[in-house]
Amino acid sequence: MAMTDERKAKLTLPADDQILVTRELDAPPHLVYRAWTTPELVARWWTAKRGVAKSMEIDLRVGGSWRYVMETFEGQEVAFHGVYREIVPDERLVTTEVYEGAPLPPEQLEANATLNTVTFAERGGRTLVTMLTECPSHEVREMIVASGMEDGLQDALDLLEGVAQELQG
């Protein structure tokens, strides 16, 4: 089956303060939504193979907050939090997101929150996930895109190889 392209997360930059990631998943939207909003399930995928989940708090109501904490295999604690702004079960979530380790004075952290809109669209029993991250500034966008650079070299080479193959297509 020629699914390689569809199964790869696609990243585009629609505006200079935005990041758009799309990915198709082989499950209907109600399951994807559940995996996205249930702490025990989020704990199993959000860590991205980089560590273990320490705490996943989700207060799933408009105005409710969420906070995810993981510990990387290098022993570093990484935490994000935010507030739910819009909730349409099985379809759409809008939340704010703050990276607690951002190199910013504490009083500026909240002001630099991103606004994330995730939609789950049915595609013949599968789900197209679309994640739009709107940043407060171009600089914050650049910081997010470059994040994780320290372990990025091999990833970069892998990706480059994929791109090269695609270009040779």
Applying CB under 8 A, which residues contact another protein? 8-9, 11-13, 16, 19, 21, 23, 25-27, 31-32, 34-35, 41, 44-50, 129, 131, 142, 144-149, 151-153, 155-156, 158-160, 163-164, 166-169
| DSSP H stretches of helix in the chain | 4-7, 29-37, 39-45, 106-109, 138-146, 152-168
Cα–Cα distance, 161 to 156 (Å, whole number): 8
- For residue 132, the tally of other CB atoms under 10 A from its CB is 18
Provide the minimum distance between the beta carbon of 100 and another protein in the complex, in angstroms, as a whole number: 16
Provide the minimum distance between the beta carbon of 107 and another protein in the complex, in angstroms, as a whole number: 26
Cα–Cα distance, 141 to 40 (Å, whole number): 29
Rank residues 62 and 147 by Cβ distance to another protein and give the closer one.
147
Rank residues 106 and 164 by Cβ distance to another protein and give the closer one.
164
Q: How far is CA 150 from CA 46, 74, 143, 154, 155, in A?
A: 19, 12, 13, 10, 10
Rank residues 57 and 155 by Cβ distance to another protein and give the closer one.
155
Cα–Cα distance, 119 to 10 (Å, whole number): 15
Rank residues 111 and 146 by Cβ distance to another protein and give the closer one.
146
Provide the minimum distance between the beta carbon of 63 and another protein in the complex, in angstroms, as a whole number: 26
Provide the minimum distance between the beta carbon of 83 and another protein in the complex, in angstroms, as a whole number: 21
